[in-house]
Structure 1
Amino acid sequence: MLHQLLVPLVVGFAAGAALRPVVAALIVPVGHPTCPAGPVHPRSLYGLLLTTGRDHSGHWGVPCLLEVTTAAAFAAVAAGGASGWYAVAQYWIAFLGAGLLLIDSAVQRLPNVLTLHAGAGTLVLLTAAAAAGEPGSLSRAVAVAAAAGALFTAAALGGMGLGDAKLAVSLGALLGWHSWQAALVALVTSYFLGAVVAIGLLVTGRQHRKSHLAFGPFLIIGTLATLVTST
């Protein structure tokens, strides 16, 4: 099993390295201008490297965090055993999802450039899967994506960000291709993980009741976990 995961781990690590300049440019708080394209000084990666998030002092955390996260996401997809264009769609979400997970965790934003590419790419790849006659349902994928988008757009009225709604469209489509049940399980799993982390942060005093906890990472983790166990 470990041998079968070696290639996805290596490819995922390389994909994370390729994504790093994009994440470095986007991992800034809401309202701040994005960093220019090209080489970025390591200190600007304060969120990516798990710094305090309070300033740009550049306290180093986990080295190669993006690469390791992407490698783990690719390994999870491979462990799920999906094949064909549906597998490619899962790797696409794992690729962009790793960057979105770290950006949202650090600065609580889900940039349009990643969420919209995630949605468009997923739709194209699932359409290719349908054209190839792979098991699954494109119409159900579209229906779940629309339902997820509507649900999280309504939730945005209660304080949840619209970025979560855009992300939910691509994740919902990926889950909906498999089944409505998978989409429901992923949603429950995501909220459960979010609740556990929120309670843990409250108990340890790292957050208070009015603190805002980024939900995007839990949506991504909940989706990948569901796909791994249901594919």
Structure 2
Amino acid sequence: MLGQLLATLVGLAAGAALRPVVVALAVPAGEPVSIPCMACSPCPGATWRPYALRLLPPGGRCSTCRVRLCAPWLPELTTAAAFAAVAAGGTEGWYAAAQYWLALIGSALLLVDSAVQRLPDALTLPAAVGTFTLLTVASAHHEPGSLGRALAAAAAAGVLFTVLALGGMGLGDAKLVISLSALLGWHSWHVALLGLMMSFLLAAVVAVFLLLARRSTRKSTMAFGPFLIIGTLAALLAHS
């Protein structure tokens, strides 16, 4: 219980640090990445640098011009929930570190994809590098799990989603699922399949609900990244 509370508090702090990254990357495809406040600095293409990021207040408004940049406390609460879910699974060691890493990057990806329906390489690439690095270290320390199976699951999911991308699904989903499937595949093939099944099932339920509520049509598009991330966390929790 104490560990889960601590993880939640760390998640809140991590979400605060993540907020400017989410705001900067939540731009439509093809547009330049912006620094946190376009109103204060209207030339994002010339001013974007990692050091341009600065902490933003939890209220979601620019501290200089008070323009609304993000929903209040949204990054903090999202990351705190993700960290709490990982802690509830009770995993320890380097495999737990890989889960927390994806919980952190996944929270940012979930928010960006929900806002603008894109999964930027600036997040999916670090997600993959960090995940495979931590799983490799976990394997070197002989933690329960299989690095070979993780790599095989990542490759299989990557191929599947690349094929799906030819039918309209985004390539960002194919990049993201590589990291998520590696994390699940480390555990077992059953968990890897369960994570994908839960992701598609959750997406289908939400799509049907939106149709019945007349909030979307058959031609509407929907971000799939959040369902992949939530489905992964749910599958890990189910087999904790």
- TM-score, normalised to structure 2, is 0.86
Cα deviations by residue, 1:181-225 (Å, 9 ceiling, x for unpaired): 001001110000000100111111111110001100000000011
Map 1:204-215; keep pairs closer than 5 Å.
204-215=213-224
Is the contact between residue 24 and residue 40 of structure 1 (CA under 8 Å) also seen in structure 2? no
Residue of structure 2 equivalent to 1:28? 27
Map 1:102-141; keep pairs closer than 5 Å.
102-141=111-150
CA distance in 2, matches of 1:9, 1:72: 7
CA distance in 1, matches of 2:135, 2:21: 25
CA distance in 2, matches of 1:41, 1:33: 20
CA distance in 1, matches of 2:68, 2:211: 26
CA distance in 2, matches of 1:124, 1:160: 28
* Partner-residue secondary structure (3-state), 1:171: helix
Residue of structure 2 equivalent to 1:73? 82
Map 1:44-55; keep pairs closer than 5 Å.
none
Cα deviations by residue, 1:105-146 (Å, 9 ceiling, x for unpaired): 110000001001000100000000000000000000000000
Deviation at 1:27, TM superposition (A): 0.6
Q: What amino acid is the match of 1:201?
A: L
Deviation at 1:13, TM superposition (A): 0.6
| Structure 2 CA distance for partners of 1:40 and 1:88, relative to 1, 3 Å | closer
CA distance in 2, matches of 1:130, 1:187: 24
CA distance in 1, matches of 2:110, 2:84: 16
Is the contact between residue 109 and residue 163 of structure 1 (CA under 8 Å) also seen in structure 2? yes
Alignment equivalent of 2:211, drawn from 202, 211, 217:
202
Alignment equivalent of 2:178, drawn from 169, 174, 177:
169
Q: What amino acid is the match of 1:6?
A: L
Is the contact between residue 13 and residue 71 of structure 1 (CA under 8 Å) also seen in structure 2? yes
Residue of structure 2 equivalent to 1:222? 231
CA distance in 2, matches of 1:204, 1:97: 28
Q: What amino acid is the match of 1:10?
A: L
Is the contact between residue 20 and residue 56 of structure 2 (CA under 8 Å) also seen in structure 1? no
CA distance in 2, matches of 1:60, 1:18: 13
Q: What amino acid is the match of 1:124?
A: T
Structure 1 stretches of 5 or more lacking a match? 47-56
Deviation at 1:4, TM superposition (A): 3.3
Deviation at 1:76, TM superposition (A): 0.2
* Partner-residue secondary structure (3-state), 1:110: coil
CA distance in 1, matches of 2:121, 2:86: 24
CA distance in 2, matches of 1:60, 1:179: 38
Alignment equivalent of 1:186, drawn from 195, 205, 208:
195
* Partner-residue secondary structure (3-state), 2:168: coil
Query: Deviating runs (4+, > 2 A) in structure 1?
Result: 36-42, 57-61
Query: What number of residue pairs does the alignment pair up?
Result: 217
Residue of structure 1 equivalent to 2:14? 15
RMSD value, Cα? 1.8
Deviation at 1:22, TM superposition (A): 1.1
CA distance in 1, matches of 2:76, 2:156: 32
Is the contact between residue 16 and residue 70 of structure 1 (CA under 8 Å) also seen in structure 2? yes
Q: What amino acid is the match of 1:129?
A: A
CA distance in 2, matches of 1:41, 1:77: 26
Structure 2 stretches of 5 or more lacking a match? 36-51, 62-66
CA distance in 2, matches of 1:221, 1:14: 21
Residue of structure 2 equivalent to 1:38? 53
Deviation at 1:39, TM superposition (A): 4.3
